[in-house]
Amino acid sequence: MASPFPRLLPSLPFSPSSPPPRIFPGKPLPRLRAAVSAALQWNRKPQLAGETPRVVVVTSGKGGVGKTTTTANVGLSLARFGFSVVAVDADAGLRNLDLLLGLENRVNYTAVEVLNGDCRLDQALIRDRRCPSLELLCISKPRSKLPLGFGAKALTWVVDALRSRPSGAPHFVLIDCPAGIDAGFITAIAPANEALLVTTPDITALRDADRVTGLLECDGIRDIKMVVNRVRTDLIRGEDMMSVIDVQEMLGLALLGVIPEDSEVIKSTNRGYPLVLNKPPTVAGLAFEQAAWRLVEQDTMTAVMVEEEPKKKGFFSFFGG
Amino acid sequence: MMPISGDVSMFFGALPSHPNHRPVMPTFLCSKARLDHFRSGASDLKVAPNLLQMKLPDMNSTNWSHVCFGTGENKLTPTVNQDAEVFLLNVVNMSFFDRLSLTWRMLFPTKVRNNSNAKTAKQRLKMMLFSDRCDISDEAKQKIINNIIEALSEFVEIDSLDKVQLNVSTDTDLGTLYSVTIPVRRVRPEYQDSEEDYIGNISNIEYKDTGERSGNIDVKFDFFLPSDQSKRVKWVSDK
C-alpha cells in the first residue's frame, strides 16, 4: 500500500557509455529533461491509495479541538497535490468551514436547496479561486429555520450525487462533523467509509475521543486515524502535558499527524486565508501537509519521544532540591 | 570518613533496583537527618546494605533521587554485614574527592521528584477509560453468573446461590477486573486430592547444621503418612 521510503532512483534512459547528447542553450532535449526531473524527484506527488471517491469524516466528539481547521487545511493540501476535493460542512445549524476558507461571501445555494429542487448540485458547490480543485458545500443557510429534515439519508444522497455527477467523481469527500454525539454526528458519519479523529492531548478531549471511537466502530467505520492537534512540546518536556506516545497508547489508534500549537492558526482564520497557503510555510502548515500526504497514501506515522529538559541546577542545588 | 558511631546505624531506604539485592530494610521517609547522635571515632562500623544503592561516582546502578535515610535500631542481619563490607571496600578504593562528594550527597540528598502533571493525567485517564469502556448490562451480568455457577458446580458444591456476586473493578496494572465471588461448601469427592498421592512426601525440611563446618548434619523434616480416619481407598474389583 504505502511506501515509507522514497522511490529508488530510476535508471536513466540512456546508458552512460554513449556520447552525451548535445544540448542547445535554448532548447533542451525533452528526454533528458524528463530523465532529470525523474531522477531529482522534484514536484513529487503522493500516490492515491484506496478506491475513489474516498469519503472521510473529520470528527472529534469534543468541540474546539480543531476539526474545521483540520478539514480546511487538509482539504486544501489535497487540492494542491492535484486531487479533486469536495469539503462538506455537515453542521446544519452553525457553520464555520466557509469562514475558514474565506468563502463566506459566496455561499448562495446550499444542500437544502438542492434537495428541495431549487438549484442544481454544481450551483451549490463553491469553487475556491486560489485552488480550483477544492469545492465547498454547505448544508444550510444560517438564518433559515433549523432544517430538521436533513438527516443521514439526505447526506448519503448528496454524497452519491457527487459520486455520480457528470463532471466526474471527486477523489476526496471530506465531511466536517459537528461537535457532540447526537443527531448531527449520526448524520455526518452515515455516508463515510473512513474517519479522521482530531484530538488534543488533554484529558477531556481524550475521553470524548474514546467514546467517539466506540460509536464509530459501532456504526461500521473501522478505518479510524488520529490527528493530535495543539501539541505543545515545551509542556511535554516539562511533563505537564501528556505526550503523543501516551495519547497513542491510551486510544490505540493509528496516528496520521501531530500538529503543534501555532498562533498562525488564529491569524489565518481571521484573514480567511488557510494556513497551508502561507509562504514561507509555518510549522503547523507543514504538519498539515504531511498529514494530508499520509492520508492520500493511507500511511501512518509513529510518535517519537520528546527529550526531557535537563534539570536546571541553581547555585545552591547541591544542598538538596 | 563517615561520622557514624557504633550504636546508631544509619540505613538508607531506597528502591531496590540493584539486581543482587533483596529488599531487606523497609523504606523510611524523613526530611532531615538527625546527626546529633553521632560521635566521632567509629569503632564498629555497621552500615545498612542499601547504602550500595547510592550512586557512587564509578558505579551507575540506581536512581539517585529516590534515596533517603533515617536512623533506627541496630537490627542488622549477617547478610547485611557482608554487603556493608563490600560497600566499604569499594568506598575505600575511591579517591578523596569521590568520597567527599559521596558524603555530601548522603548529608544533603536531592528531594524526591514529585508526581508530574502528565503522569497524574495519564492515571486518571486510564481509570476513566476503563470504567467507560466496561459498561455491562445487568442481564449480561446475570447470565455470566449463571454460566459460571453451572461450570463450577461440576467440581465443587456451592454454599448458597444467592451470595454469588459479580464485581467490575479497575486496577492500575491489570486494567478492568471482573471478579465473581462464590462461597464454596466443599469439593466434590471425585475431585478431592487423594491422600495416596502424598504418601512418602517429605516436607518442612529444617537444617540445624548443614555439615559444612562440623562434618555432621542435623536435619528435621516431616514425612507424610495417611491417617486412618480419613483414609480413602478405592476398591477396584474384577468381575
pLDDT profile of chain A (321 residues), mean per 10:
48 47 56 72 76 91 93 94 93 86 90 89 90 91 67 92 90 93 92 94 93 91 93 89 89 92 91 89 93 90 70 58 43
**Residue A106 belongs to a domain:** yes
Q: Is A139 helix (H, G, I), strand (E, B) or coil?
A: coil
User: In which band, very low, low, confident or very high, does the pLDDT at B159 lie, cut at 50, 70 and 90?
Assistant: confident
**What cell was used for B158?**
456451592
Any B CB within 8 A of A217 CB: no
Is A311 domain-assigned? no
Confidence of residue B60 (pLDDT cuts 50, 70, 90): very low
Q: How far apart are CA B60 and CA B53, in angstroms?
A: 9
Chain B hits for A206, CB-CB cut-off 8 Å, are 125, 129
- The mean-pLDDT minimum among A5-14, A152-161, B79-88, B215-224 falls in A5-14
AA identity, residue A176 = D
Residue A317 lies in a domain: no
pLDDT band, very low/low/confident/very high, at B234 (cuts 50, 70, 90): very low
Q: Pick from A214, A242, A319: which is nearest to B122 by CB?
A: A242
C-beta of residue B27 within 8 angstroms of C-beta of residue B63? no
A9 in any annotated domain: no
Contacts of B125 in chain A (CB under 8 A): 203, 206-207, 242, 250
Phi-psi region of B166 (alpha: psi -120 to 50; beta: other; left: phi over 0): beta
CA nearest to A54, candidates A185, A216, A174, A213: A174
Q: Does residue A268 lie in a domain region?
A: yes
**Residue B186, pLDDT score:** 86
Which is more confidently placed, A316 or B220? Answer: B220
**pLDDT at res. A267:** 92
Q: Is the pTM of this model over 0.80?
A: no
At B137 the pLDDT is 75
What residue in A sits closest to B129 (Cα-Cα)?
Answer: A207
Distance CA B17, CA B187 (A): 43
The answer to whether residue A70 is domain-embedded is yes
Confidence of residue B90 (pLDDT cuts 50, 70, 90): confident
Q: Which three cell numbers stand for residue A131?
A: 485552488
Nearest to A240 among B117, B124, B126 (CB): B117
**What's the CATH code of the domain at A112?**
3.40.50.300
Interface with chain A: mutation pick from B31, B66, B122, B134, highest number of A CBs within 10 Å: B122
Q: What percent of chain B has pLDDT over 90?
A: 0
Min Cα–Cα distance to chain B from A204, Å:
9
Interface contact flag, A207 B129, Cβ < 8 Å: yes
Provide the pLDDT for residue A74: 95
Q: What is the pLDDT of residues A54-82, one digit of tens each?
A: 999 999 989 999 999 999 999 999 999 99
Q: Do B129 and A210 touch (CB under 8 A)?
A: yes
pLDDT at position B227, please? 62
**Does B36 score more than 50 pLDDT?**
no
Residues of chain B with pLDDT > 70: what percent? 53
Mark out the alpha helices in B61-137 (DSSP H runs).
78-93, 96-107, 117-133
Model confidence band, residue B112 (pLDDT cutoffs 50, 70, 90): low
CB pairs under 8 A between A and B: 47
- Does A64 contact B at CB distance below 8 Å? no
Decide if A183 is inside a domain.
Answer: yes
Is the pLDDT assigned to residue B151 strictly greater than 60? yes
Contact flag A250-B125 (C-beta cutoff 8 Å): yes
Interchain contact A240–B (C-beta under 8 A): yes
**B51 pLDDT above the threshold of 50:** no
Q: How much is the pLDDT for A318? A: 56
ipTM above 0.85, yes or no: no
Is 70 exceeded by the pLDDT of residue B23?
A: no
Residue closest to A147 by CA, chosen among A173, A115, A125: A115
Q: What pLDDT, on the 0 to 100 scale, is given for residue A15?
A: 45
Cβ-based contacts of B124 with chain A (< 8 Å): 203
Rounded CA-CA distance A172/A54 in Å is 5
**Per-residue pLDDT, A309:** 58
Return the residue of A nearest to B102 by Cα. Answer: A318
A77 within some domain: yes
Chain A residue closest to B112 (CA)? A321
What is the number of domains present in chain A?
1
Asked whether residue B106 carries a pLDDT value surpassing 50, the answer given is yes
Nearest-neighbour CA in chain A from B215: distance (Å): 54
Please give the average per-residue pLDDT across B126-132, as a whole number.
Answer: 81
Structure confidence at residue B238 (pLDDT): 47
Residue B78 to residues B24, B43, B167: CA-CA distances in angstroms?
11, 18, 46
Q: Shortest Cα distance from B66 to chain A (angstroms)?
A: 12
The CA distance from B234 to B73, in Å, is 59
pLDDT exceeds 90 at position B209 = no
Q: Which residue has the higher pLDDT, B80 or A120?
A: A120
- Kindly compute the dihedral angle of the four CA atoms of residues A92, A95, A98, A102, in this order, to the nearest 10 degrees: 170
- pLDDT > 70? residue B50: no
Domain of residue A144 covers 49-297
Least reliable range by pLDDT among A246-260, B145-159, B181-195:
B181-195
At residue A28, the pLDDT reads 59
Cα(B206)–Cα(B183) distance, integer angstroms: 36
Say what the pLDDT of residue A135 is: 94
Closest chain B residue to the Cα of A209, Cα to Cα:
B129
| Chain B contacts in chain A segment 244-263 (CB below 8 A) | 246, 250
Instruction: Give, for A300, the enclosing helix (H) or strand (E).
Output: none
